[in-house]
Amino acid sequence: MSNQSADPSTTAQAPINVPAAVLFSISTLMVLTVFPLYAWHHDFSGAAWLWFFIFLFASGLSITGGYHRLWAHRAYEARLPLRIFYMLFGAQSLENSILVWCSMHRVHHKNVDHVDDDPYSIKRGFWYAHMGWMLRDRPCHAVDLSNVQDLQRDPVVMFQHKHYLGLALFMNIGLPGLIGMLYGEPGAFLMLAGLLRLVVNHHFTFFINSLAHMWGRRPYTEENTARDNDLIALFTYGEGYHNYHHLFSWDYRNGVRWWNVDLTKWWIAMLSWVGQSHSLRRVPEFKIRRAMIERQFARAQQKLASAAPTTRLEHVKQLLEHEMEAFKATVNEWTRLQTEKIEAAKKQVMDRVAERWEHSEARRQLQVLEEALHLQYRRVRLLHMQTA
């Protein structure tokens, strides 16, 4: 990760990305001028608003659930009907093809926060990360599909990539217009379900690259700028739990707790009940707790290092050292048991591994370790609070 400051001249000298500049200029100008003029002279029916929200969620979830968690991170698998749904409504989002989007996103995760190599690095400022990066052709924006060879084996992905322009035009103009004609108000549908929906969802997505790297908490890692923010999660279909995501990107959940508002997580889980999604990947609870405890240790140690020494703080320091030793022992034991599980799996018939493991003594020991780590997190958090 790089902490160097951005050189504004570098961005200014980069050639303009004409298609993106034209798209954003036209859509922004129209939503600021044409849309309010149309709304002044026409009423929008309940049906028009209904389809606005249907398309808003369909295209938004196709980016978060499809482009992002399914294809970019392979956090789960999806049946053909669901992949086709994502392919069509992902094209409606006008955020490029699955192949290009995922390639760029994988580069972002690989080089997060690097001022030159991260395509939408927050180190260049809010505007750049939000949408400025799309308006200039910088070297890091060159499309290299070598990192998405796995996706090139998916015929749905390749069909969309080959026919992206036609699909995008039909999904953004043709489909809203046709549905609007059925209701006798094609103009209203094009304004709401077409234009306004497009601009709103664009900025929902862009906030993940900008605000979610600036505003919020970092309970899992400080190795990058990604933040968890409940408010951002509300209107980004759950993508606002970005600190967790950047540490555990292969988890189908971003909001890992049941109370975290992660619409995409619930959408994927619901689809698994009807067989459209499967092989949902989850980070083990132990690893999540381990990351959280490591952050608590780091914060407490930082505060102790900067605080004036007192008898109370010296006692807290000793308790922290004791907790650290216990933490290391718990992690070592968990690692040993995981190794034992893998070795046992190699020796057993694969279709009976899960059943045998579920009832094994090692399984019960792991559950005890997970509970011990949960209790230790509470103790370390309490000690951290005492350093204030």
Q: Are 241 and 113 members of one domain? A: yes
Q: Are 164 and 30 members of one domain? A: yes
Cα–Cα–Cα angle for 272, 276, 278, rounded to 5 degrees: 50
Q: Are 296 and 370 members of one domain? A: yes
CA 76 vs. chain centroid, Å, equals: 14
Q: Are 264 and 330 members of one domain? A: no
**pTM here?**
0.84
Identify the residue whose tokens are 């399914």: 70
Q: Are 181 and 254 members of one domain? A: yes
Contact 240, 264 (CB under 8 A): no
Which of 278, 309, 332 terminates a domain? The answer is 278
Q: List the structure tokens of 178.
A: 């046709």
Residue 159 maps to a domain: yes
Q: Which of 65, 131, 56 is nearest to 98 (CA)?
A: 65
- Cα R_g (the chain), whole angstroms: 24
Residue 2 maps to a domain: no
How many structural domains is the chain composed of? 2
Q: Are 352 and 233 members of one domain? A: no
Residue 330 maps to a domain: yes
Residue 260 maps to a domain: yes
Q: Are 223 and 309 members of one domain? A: no
Range of the structural domain that residue 339 is part of: 285-386
CA 65 vs. chain centroid, Å, equals: 9
CA 210 vs. chain centroid, Å, equals: 13
Which of 278, 301, 332 terminates a domain? The answer is 278
Contact 67, 95 (CB under 8 A): yes
Q: Can you tell me the distance from the alpha carbon of 216 to that of 105, in angstroms, rounded to the nearest whole number? A: 21
Which of 262, 278, 294 terminates a domain? The answer is 278
Q: Are 316 and 235 members of one domain? A: no
Q: Are 268 and 376 members of one domain? A: no
Residue 1 maps to a domain: no
Q: What is the pLDDT along the chain (388 residues), one digit of tens a residue?
A: 444 444 444 445 788 999 999 999 999 999 999 999 999 999 999 999 999 999 999 999 999 999 999 999 999 999 999 999 999 999 999 999 999 999 999 999 999 999 999 999 999 999 999 999 999 988 888 889 999 999 999 999 999 999 999 999 999 999 999 999 999 999 999 999 999 999 999 999 999 999 999 999 999 999 999 999 999 999 999 999 999 999 999 999 999 999 999 999 999 999 999 999 999 999 988 899 889 888 877 777 776 666 656 666 666 666 666 666 777 777 777 677 777 776 666 666 555 555 555 556 666 766 777 777 666 667 766 666 666 5
Q: List the structure tokens of 250.
A: 């292969």
Contact 144, 25 (CB under 8 A): no
